[in-house]
Amino acid sequence: MHNSFEGPGAAAARFTGLPATGERRLSGALAEVTLDGGRVVMVKRGEGDRAAQAEAAGLRWLADAGTVRIPAVHGHDEQWLVTDRVATGRPGAAAAERLGRELAALHAAGAPAFGAPPPGGPEDAYIGLAPMRNVTGPDWPRWYAEHRVLPYLRRAVDVGTLRREEVPVIERVCERLPELAGPAEPPARLHGDLWNGNVLWGADGHAWLIDPAAHGGHRETDLAMLHLFGCPHLDRILAAYQEAAPLADGWTDRIGLHQLFPLLVHAVLFGRGYAEQALAAAESATNR
């Protein structure tokens, strides 16, 4: 049993079998550790029960698809996750186009069901610092409403960032999801938290994905997340994706629909401004 007071260096040594020779804290939860021989790994402290387990399972599941680049997992326990470090460079057009094709292949690798967790991953997982339950459902519209949108709608009201009189605006979207969701698609293998900060542009000319909230879902959700906070060369990513795996007609009209979940998560974690964005996305979805 490991010492609950060990630091990142000791955790890295335990999981890699190599002595740690240096340690650089990047935040309260993240550190770079240099190992004997010069290799550098990332050591992350889980912020909640099963957080490290969920992230490790997600990274391995995405890597198993053999498509987009994912840092290797060296090990995890209830407290720590140790992975390879990605040496970063600058965003490039060629890397963006490659990422578009790789995302299409990742999504096509599929999942057992909507809401399915990665193999070995817990049902009670996380998206960022927020709890996220991976509970399966028979079709995307009902699953998305019941297990993504409505739980965070209730939380946003409970924490006071969304007013009770505003709730029907988003509830109406949930009621109309079967008609708004577009053609039915099979469950895709999603990164699940694919905002720009979780895309690392590697010095090797490839884009790498980190910090997943991986699960079975709708492939448009990952692309909507890329839109949410912007991403370098997004037009090239999407063009290459479309060439490899064309999206259903009207997918751009559904971006706001797929952004409802992350916007409500942000409303719970970060305040009223995101609640207002969620309301605007909901109104846009129901008015088209």
Segment holding 267, helix H or strand E = helix 255-270
**Which residues belong to the active site?**
193
Angle subtended by helix axes 219-228 and 255-270, to nearest 10: 60
- As a whole number of angstroms, the distance between CA 271 and CA 264 comes to 10
Residue 269 burial (10 A CB sphere; 0-12, 13-18, 19+): middle
- As a whole number of angstroms, the distance between CA 257 and CA 221 comes to 9
Q: ∠18-22-25 over CA atoms, to 5°?
A: 120
Q: One-letter amino acid identity for 154? A: R
Q: How many residues are given for the chain?
A: 288
> Which phi and psi (to 5°) does residue 77 adopt?
-145, -160
